[in-house]
C-alpha cells in the first residue's frame, strides 16, 4: 500500500479522484493500492523554551541566551490535528511507501518532513512535485515521482529558517522585553519583521523631519507646447519676477529638435510579489488578500503555483503555451492574432537558468467559474499579463526639443505611441495601462531648428514635497530589494536573493506588524505608530534593523537550498549573533521604552511569571473574523445570521453555528474551539433524546465537526 499525504483535505480529494482512491474512510481515502490522507497546515512546530527545561518557563534576563543543545519538534495542541495525525501515524506504520504530496515549496516541504519525522516513518518516500492542481498536472506528476532525497537541501533551508527565527525571536523578544519593556508590554523582535519595521520608521522620520520649501520656476508656452527653463529652481519670487521681465523682452527660438523611434519592452510575467504590487496599486488589496485570492485560484485549478519568486517560464512549458492560449476563450479577441502564427520564444520569457522549483504565475487553461469578484480581478491580471508577453513590443516616438529666450535655455519632451503592441491589452485601463510607469503620451508638433517667434512666459510657484509614505506595493518592493530604490526589472531580479523575507512570507510579516500595532494604515499609506518608532529607537544593535544584513541571511538560506552553504554554519552564525546581542543589551543602560496608550500587550505562551501583570489589552473583545479556518486556513466570516463560516465555504464547508445544542456560543467558546479544539465546560446543553440538560465541553473532531466531549 502507498500512502499519499497532502497538505489540505481539498487537495487530498483532488489527488484521490485522479489516482482512483474513491472510498472515503475516517481521515483518508482508499482505493487502487493507495491511501490518501492529509494535514491541514502545520501539525508540528519547534518545541517551545519550557519544553527543554522548566527554568525557561519564566522570563528572566539571567537565563538568556537560550540555546538548546539540539532542536526538537512537537505536535500542536489541537484536538482535530492530534486526531488526524493519529490517522497519518497509523497509515504510515503499515504502508510500503509514502508519497509526499505537500505544497511544492520550502514551507510545504518542512511541514511534511516534520510530520513524517514525528510519525517515525521508516519506509521509502517519494515526492510529488507539481506546479498546478489540474487533473493533467497530477497525472503527469505521479508518472514522474521524484526521490525525496532530491529535496533534502530544500528541507535543510526550511529547517535553518525555522531555527534561525526561533533563536532570534525567542531570545531577542525576551531580552528587550525584560530590559526595556517595564514589565508592561512584550517587545516583539523578529529576523524579518524588525528590519521591515525599521524601513517604515526610517521613512516616517524622514517625513516628520521634512520642512517644505517654496520654489519658483520659469516656464513658457510656444506653439501650444509648454517648455521649462533648464536652470535650477529659484529660491525667491523676486528673482523669478526679474527672470520673467527678462523673458518678455525676447522671442523664443528653437535650438534643437530630436525625434527618436524606440520600443517599450513587454512587462514581465508575475511572480507573487509583483502580482501583490499590481493588485495593491489597482484595487487596493493588501498583500495578504492578494495571496489568499491567488491561493484560492490555484486550488481551484485556474492558475499555477503562486508562491514563486521568478518572472520566467522553463523552456519545457513552451510547447504547452499554444494550448493554454486556445483555452482562454474569454480573451479570444487578444489571443486570435497570436494563434494565427507561431508563438514567439523569447529569452525574456523562457529561461531555464532563471527558474528553480517553479515558474512564473500563469493561467492553466482551465476557465474559471463560480469565483468571487476579487478572484476574477486577480485572474484577469494574470491572464492579461500572460497574453501580453507574447505580443510585439510597443513602438514609440520620443521627442526632445530645446529652445531659448535670450540667454535662458528651455526644454520640452514628449512621447507618441506609434504601434500599440502589448499595450493593446490595457487600452481601457489607465491604472494598468503602463506597468513600467512611463510618462503619459504627449504628442508634440514638428519644430524647425532656428524658427523663432512670440511666446507666453510665466512664473510657476511650487512647494517641495516630503518623501512618500510606503504603500503595501512600495513596501513589498522595498522588502524585495532590501530597502534599495530599484525601478529596473532586471536589476530587481538580481537583488531577489538578498530580499527581506520570501514572497510567501512577506504578506504575513506586514500583517503581523499591523496586528502588533507597530504600523497603521491611512487610506493606502502605511505609517509607523509611536510604539513602532519607540521600539526601533530602543534597538541600538544595527544587525537587528539592517535590511541589507537580513537580506544577506536570506541569500545564505537560498544557498543552503542549492547545496552551496551549510545549514550548521548558518545556525552557528546566528547563535554567535544572539550571544553577542545578549551581552550587548544586558550591559546597556538605555532608557525603558515609552509605550503609547493604545499599544496592545502581547502575551506569549511561555511567559508564566509567578506574579504576572494583567494588561488592559487582554480585556479587549475577541475578533473572531481575525481567526482562520482550521480545515483550510482561510479567514472566518459571518455567514448570515446563523453561523461563522470559512471564507472559502463553497469548497471547504466549515462553519460554527451561533447556537448549538440549545446554547448560544460566546466568542470565547468559538475562540477556544479554533485554538484549542475544545471549550471549557458549558452549562445547560440540550442533548437530543435526553430530557435533562447536560454540563459538558464541546470538542472538534477529526472531521471538523463538533461533539460533546
Q: Is the dihedral of CA 245, 248, 249, 255 positive or negative?
A: positive
Contact 177, 425 (CB under 8 A): no
Contact 395, 418 (CB under 8 A): yes
Q: Return contacts of 149-157, CB within 8 angstroms, 24+ apart.
A: 151/109, 151/127, 153/560, 153/561, 153/562, 153/563, 154/106, 154/109, 154/357, 154/561, 155/109, 155/110, 155/113, 156/560, 156/561, 156/567, 157/106, 157/557, 157/558, 157/560, 157/561, 157/567
- In sequence order, the 6+-apart residues with CB closer than 8 A to the CB of 311 are 268, 269, 270, 271, 274, 354, 360, 489, 493
Backbone angles phi and psi of 457, in degrees to 5: -75, 155
How far is the C-alpha of 95 from the C-alpha of 78, rounded, in Å? 26
Contact 315, 350 (CB under 8 A): yes
In the chain, helix, strand, coil percent, each to 5?
40, 20, 40
Backbone angles phi and psi of 97, in degrees to 5: -160, 145
Query: What cell numbers appear for 219 in the block?
Result: 516656464
3-state SS record for 532-584 = HHHHHHHCCCHHHHCHHHHHHHHHHHHHHHHCCCCHHHHHHHHHHHHHHHHHH
Q: Catalytic residue among 305, 379, 518, 565, which?
A: 305
Alpha carbon distances (Å) from 414 to 281, 397, 399, 449: 25, 8, 5, 17
Catalytic, 305? Answer yes
Closest CA to 628 of 696, 674, 569, 571: 674
Q: Is the dihedral of CA 577, 578, 580, 585 positive or negative?
A: positive
Q: Phi-psi region for residue 456, left (φ > 0), alpha (ψ -120 to 50) or beta?
A: beta
How far is the C-alpha of 155 from the C-alpha of 105, rounded, in Å? 9
Residue with grid cell 531659448, as numbered in its chain: 404
What residues are annotated to the active site? 305
Amino acid at each position: 500500500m502507498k500512502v499519499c499525504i497532502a497538505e489540505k483535505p481539498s487537495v487530498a480529494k483532488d489527488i484521490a479522484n485522479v489516482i482512483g482512491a474513491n472510498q472515503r474512510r475516517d481521515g483518508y481515502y482508499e482505493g487502487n493500492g493507495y491511501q490518501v490522507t492529509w494535514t491541514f497546515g502545520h501539525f508540528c512546530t519547534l518545541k517551545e523554551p519550557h519544553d527543554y527545561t522548566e527554568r525557561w518557563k519564566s522570563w528572566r534576563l539571567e537565563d538568556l541566551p537560550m540555546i538548546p543543545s539540539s532542536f526538537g519538534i512537537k505536535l500542536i495542541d489541537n484536538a482535530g490535528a492530534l486526531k488526524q495525525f493519529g490517522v497519518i501515524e497509523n497509515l504510515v506504520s503499515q504502508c510500503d511507501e509514502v508519497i509526499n504530496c505537500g505544497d511544492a515549496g520550502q514551507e510545504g516541504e518542512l511541514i511534511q518532513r516534520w510530520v513524517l519525522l514525528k510519525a517515525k516513518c521508516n519506509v521509502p518516500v517519494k515526492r510529488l512535485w507539481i506546479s498546478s492542481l489540474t487533473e493533467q498536472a497530477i497525472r503527469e506528476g505521479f508518472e514522474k515521482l521524484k526521490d525525496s532525497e532530491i529535496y533534502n537541501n530544500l528541507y535543510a533551508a526550511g529547517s535553518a529558517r525555522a531555527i534561525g527565527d526561533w533563536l532570534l525571536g525567542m531570545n531577542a523578544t525576551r531580552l528587550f522585553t525584560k530590559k526595556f519593556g517595564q514589565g508592561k508590554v512584550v517587545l516583539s523582535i523578529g529576523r524579518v519583521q524588525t528590519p521591515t519595521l525599521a524601513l517604515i520608521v526610517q521613512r516616517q522620520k524622514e517625513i516628520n523631519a521634512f520642512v517644505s520649501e517654496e520654489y519658483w520656476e520659469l516656464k513658457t508656452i510656444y506653439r501650444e507646447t509648454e517648455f521649462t527653463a533648464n536652470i535650477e529652481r529659484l529660491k525667491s519670487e523676486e528673482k523669478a519676477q526679474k527672470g520673467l521681465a527678462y523673458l518678455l523682452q525676447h522671442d523664443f527660438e528653437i535650438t534643437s529638435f530630436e525625434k527618436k523611434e524606440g520600443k517599450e519592452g513587454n512587462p514581465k510575467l508575475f511572480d507573487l510579489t509583483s502580482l501583490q504590487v499590481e493588485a495593491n496599486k489597482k484595487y487596493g488589496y493588501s498583500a495578504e488578500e492578494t495571496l489568499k485570492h491567488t491561493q484560492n485560484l490555484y486550488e481551484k485549478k485556474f492558475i499555477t503555483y503562486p508562491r514563486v519568486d521568478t518572472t520566467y517560464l522553463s523552456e519545457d512549458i513552451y510547447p504547452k503555451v499554444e494550448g493554454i492560449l486556445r483555452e482562454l476563450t474569454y480573451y479570444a479577441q487578444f489571443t486570435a492574432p497570436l494563434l494565427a502564427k507561431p508563438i514567439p520564444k523569447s529569452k525574456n520569457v523562457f529561461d531555464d537558468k532563471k527558474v528553480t522549483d517553479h515558474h512564473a504565475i500563469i493561467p492553466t487553461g482551465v476557465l474559471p467559474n463560480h469565483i468571487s469578484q476579487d478572484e476574477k480581478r486577480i485572474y484577469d491580471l494574470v491572464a492579461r499579463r500572460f497574453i501580453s508577453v507574447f505580443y510585439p513590443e510597443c513602438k514609440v516616438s520620443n521627442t526632445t526639443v530645446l529652445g531659448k529666450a535670450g540667454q535662458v535655455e528651455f526644454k520640452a519632451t514628449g512621447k507618441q505611441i506609434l504601434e500599440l503592441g502589448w499595450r493593446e491589452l490595457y487600452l481601457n485601463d489607465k491604472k494598468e495601462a503602463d506597468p513600467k510607469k512611463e510618462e503619459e503620451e504627449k504628442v508634440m508638433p514638428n519644430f524647425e531648428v532656428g524658427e523663432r517667434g512670440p511666446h507666453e512666459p510665466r512664473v510657476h510657484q511650487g512647494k517641495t514635497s516630503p518623501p512618500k509614505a510606503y504603500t503595501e506595493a512600495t513596501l513589498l518592493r522595498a522588502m524585495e530589494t532590501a530597502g534599495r530604490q530599484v525601478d529596473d526589472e532586471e536589476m530587481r531580479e538580481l537583488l531577489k536573493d538578498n530580499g527581506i523575507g520570501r514572497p510567501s512570507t512577506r504578506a504575513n510579516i506586514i500583517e503581523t506588524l499591523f496586528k502588533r500595532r507597530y504600523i497603521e494604515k491611512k487610506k493606502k499609506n502605511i505609517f509607523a505608530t509611536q510604539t513602532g518608532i519607540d521600539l526601533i529607537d530602543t534597538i541600538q544593535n544595527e544587525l537587528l534593523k539592517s535590511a541589507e544584513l537580513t537580506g544577506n541571511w536570506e541569500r545564505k538560506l537560498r544557498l543552503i537550498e542549492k547545496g552551496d552553504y551549510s545549514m550548521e554554519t548558518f545556525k552557528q552564525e546566528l547563535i554567535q549573533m544572539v550571544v553577542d546581542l545578549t551581552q550587548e543589551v544586558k550591559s546597556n543602560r538605555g532608557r525603558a521604552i515609552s509605550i503609547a496608550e493604545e499599544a496592545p500587550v502581547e502575551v506569549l505562551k511561555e511567559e508564566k511569571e509567578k506574579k504576572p501583570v494583567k494588561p488592559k489589552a487582554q480585556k479587549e473583545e475577541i475578533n473572531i473574523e481575525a481567526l482562520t479556518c482550521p480545515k483550510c486556513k482561510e479567514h472566518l466570516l459571518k455567514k448570515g445570521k446563523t453561523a461563522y463560516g470559512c471564507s472559502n465555504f463553497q469548497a471547504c464547508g466549515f462553519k460554527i453555528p451561533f447556537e448549538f445544542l440549545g446554547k448560544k456560543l460566546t466568542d470565547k467558546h468559538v475562540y477556544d474551539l479554533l485554538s484549542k479544539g475544545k471549550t471549557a465546560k458549558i452549562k445547560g446543553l440540550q442533548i437530543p433524546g435526553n430530557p435533562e440538560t447536560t454540563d459538558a465541553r464541546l470538542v472538534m473532531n477529526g472531521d471538523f465537526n463538533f461533539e460533546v466531549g
